[in-house]
Amino acid sequence: MTKTESAGENSFRLAGGTSLAPFIQNILHQRGITEINALRSFIEPKLQDLPSPFLMKDMQHAVTIIERAIQKNQEIIIWGDYDVDGTTATALLFSFFQTLGHENIRFHIPNRLTDGYGLNRETLLTLSQTAKDRKRVLITVDNGISSFEEVQYARDLGYITIITDHHIPTEERVAADAVLNAKQHDCHFPDENLSGVGVAFYLAMAVRSHLVKNNFFQESKKVPNLKLLLDLVAVGTIADMVPLLGINRLLVKAGMETIALRQNFGLAALCQQTNTDTSRIRSEDVSFQLAPKINAAGRMGNAKKAVQLFLSSNKKEATGIANELIEYNKIRRNISLEEYEKAQKKRIESSQEEDSSLVVAGGFHVGVAGIVAANLTEDFGKPAIVLCKQEGGLLKGSARSIPGVNLHRALEECNEVLLAYGGHKMAGGMTLEEKNLSVFKVSFEKAIFKQTEGELYTKIVKADCDIKLSELFSGNILDQLYLLEPFGEGNPQLIFRDLDANIEQISAIGRDKKHLRFRFLNGKRKINGVGFGLGDKIRECKGKGMKEILYTPTINFFKGHSRWEVRVTSVKDVGA
């Protein structure tokens, strides 16, 4: 499609009366969004269009359990996960119950380095011994759907258990009192793609609705404004890389509006310390600026810091915690680089160049195994697993996949040699005995080969349309592009092609000179840009003549001021 193609006579008007630029409408048409109602739902979704939370299986039972806990002042324990999805979900429910006036509440986030993922018996016992009474409610967020033995143990200890999770369940149902997961085969909720924090938000929706109906809120108790919790939903949902369409898109888009209000002191402080513009937050700001810092706390074994950030009640404290997370991330980044070098050596030693998958095992830092696996997947175009040695002859690992390969299905086919596994299509985790490593490698390779038929994944980048920089950077097109946020899974970032870009200035940047800084001539106006990983193209870029570039418009926010720039993803001589 070119910029001159028409979207037709049906001009779409935004709520404020402004017409949607035909250029934007054409892009949406190209992505299959053609009808006016579909356009409106995509551009201007309304919270009132959210489906009822009671369509989710077990929701009414979960709400009844929580209502009874509030009435009898029973303790509620929220058991979260150590990633962004889990910590935002934990903070969301904790904050929500506080707004209801329920103070008999606490949260627990496992230590990634010592406790591992999900529920564990030792901590369940400890928490039960310090509880004020035997009857207490345990709510998991972003975990628990496969914790069969641990849930039964919790119930034996007297916990009334509610599982809220979004990972793929097995055929066997976990023995909790209520299980909230839209992926359950007999669940009638219309969207299976909620994140963990999305499921937690729906639980809060249902509890509020039920309490309103039963006249819980009197003059002294205000009905909570749940939109104020959507900033956490937006951050957790984007970070967990679930499809940003349908309900997720609606929740995230509304959450971006809430982030702009800066009501959550912790998020506001983290945005400020990372130079992120809250007034026009983008999905890439969350993915590349906020999420790594939040995740770093868990990777370094202190995910509670992230929850404390979200629950912070004063700006000074929030700023201090935000700075701690930034320091954690610096440490994490250095460790990741070291571990990736180790993984590269293991890869070479294992001679897996011709395989459809890549599995490395050794004394890796368990906190960064997922990052190393993701880097291996990115660099070699195949599913990768990084297994870390644990006590007792065990290996615990993280896996990342490629488009078109269902990682969870592959792990299912290896379940005979796995002690535990879980996850979804693109990411997962597993535990096995070290003595079974060779058998697992063979089994995993067969499972991946079956899906790929031996063809290695090649990332093909296509432009959404051709448009010169000078044309895109004029009128109100750039401002209206923001209406297409959030970008992510299911709604990929826009990529444009300029067939004759005029590079005025170029320089290599970064510690290892792997990146390029551009300045393009655009009539009298100059447009800045950056090309990550394009350092080896500098000689070609300095050659005479116009260049063909693939680029994405982006916002540079610095010292309170923002300006549009471009991120160049490809550059070559015209006619090359």
C-alpha to C-alpha distance for 266 and 51, rounded to whole angstroms: 30
DSSP 19: B
C-alpha to C-alpha distance for 210 and 557, rounded to whole angstroms: 43
C-alpha to C-alpha distance for 239 and 488, rounded to whole angstroms: 10
Cα 106 to chain centroid, rounded = 25
**Residue-level pLDDT, tens digit, the chain, 576 residues:** 444 344 444 578 888 788 888 889 999 999 999 898 899 999 999 999 999 999 999 999 999 999 999 999 999 999 999 999 999 999 999 999 999 999 999 999 998 888 878 899 999 999 888 766 678 999 999 999 989 999 999 999 999 999 999 998 988 899 999 999 999 989 999 999 999 999 999 999 999 999 999 999 986 788 999 999 999 999 999 999 999 999 999 999 999 999 999 999 999 999 999 999 999 999 999 999 999 999 999 999 899 999 999 999 999 999 999 999 999 999 999 999 999 999 999 988 887 888 899 999 999 999 999 999 999 999 999 999 999 999 999 999 999 999 889 999 999 999 999 998 988 888 999 999 999 999 999 999 999 999 988 777 777 788 999 999 988 987 778 888 999 999 999 999 999 999 989 898 899 998 788 899 999 987 777 899 999 989 988 888 887 778 899 999 998 887 778 888 999 999 988 755
CA angle 230-266-78, nearest 5°? 65
The CATH code belonging to domain 461-573 is 2.40.50.460
Pair type for strands 394-400 and 427-433 = antiparallel
> CA dihedral defined by 549, 551, 553, 556, rounded to 10 degrees?
-90
Three-class SS state of 491: strand
pTM confidence score: 0.91
Q: Which amino acid is at 529?
A: G
Q: Give the number of other Cβ atoms within 10 Å of residue 272's Cβ.
A: 15
C-alpha to C-alpha distance for 17 and 246, rounded to whole angstroms: 24
CATH topology of domain 53-324: inorganic pyrophosphatase (n-terminal core) (3.90.1640)
CA angle 161-162-166, nearest 5°? 140
Query: What CATH architecture does domain 351-452 belong to?
Result: Roll (3.10)
Tokens 């368990």 belong to 366
- The domain limits of the chain are 1-41, 53-324, 351-452, 461-573
